[in-house]
Amino acid sequence: MSKSETKSSVYFWEDFSAKNLRESSVGRKGLSLFKLKDMDIPVPEFFVISSSVFKDIAFKSLNRDIDKLTKKGRNPENDEIEKSILKTDFKEEILDQIQTAYTRISGFTDAWVSVRSSVVFPASPEVSFSGIFATELNVRHMRQLTDAIKHIYS
């Protein structure tokens, strides 16, 4: 991990360059956005949330609910895992970083945005993630934004 990456869990498009980021931190799509920006190709303003935030939310929710989810040795249903993630709160410092980046997009916290996943998986011609993960469109306000992020995670 580069020194620039360790300062933030949220990477705003103006503050970082692809050469200072790793795919393992921002995902393939996230890194591609930074590369396009670095080549002066017009892209909408964006920010990328580190994959470590996903790991924190997933582990926090599963640690809290693992006994209930695996009761009597059964495998949990997808909707049970989704509910567990959706009721898990972000750390306060992560919320602050997300709100700061969201506010920077438009100068206020009710800009319309999209929330998309960005896979962290070695590139392979045999493996495609196209169409597998959810996308949230027309997201507005902080509460909707954090709910949409957790929905993408779940």
Domains of the chain: 5-153 (3.30.1490.20)
DSSP the chain: --TTGGG-SEEETTT--GGG--HHHHHHHHHHHHHHHHTT------EEE-HHHHHHHHHHHHHHHHHHHTGGGPPPPHHHHHHHHHTPPPPHHHHHHHHHHHHHHHSSS---EEEE----S--BTTB--TTTS-EEEEE-SHHHHHHHHHHHH-
Neighbours of 11 (CB within 10 A): 26
Give the per-residue pLDDT at 154: 87
**Interval 51-110: pLDDT, tens:** 999 999 999 998 898 888 888 787 888 888 889 999 999 999 999 999 999 999 978 768
**Interval 19-67: pLDDT, tens:** 999 999 999 899 999 999 999 999 999 999 999 999 999 999 988 988 8
Give the per-residue pLDDT at 4: 45
Q: What are phi and psi of 136, to 5 degrees?
A: -110, 120
Give the per-residue pLDDT at 138: 96
Query: Contact 99/110 with Cβ under 8 angstroms?
Result: no
Q: Which residue has the higher pLDDT, 1 or 128?
A: 128
- Using N-to-C axis directions, what is the helix angle for 142-153 and 51-69, rounded to 10°? 70
Give the per-residue pLDDT at 1: 43
When pLDDT is cut at 50, 70 and 90, the band that residue 126 belongs to is low
Give the per-residue pLDDT at 78: 84
Give the per-residue pLDDT at 2: 45
Region label for 138, one of left (φ > 0), alpha (ψ between -120 and 50) or beta (otherwise): left
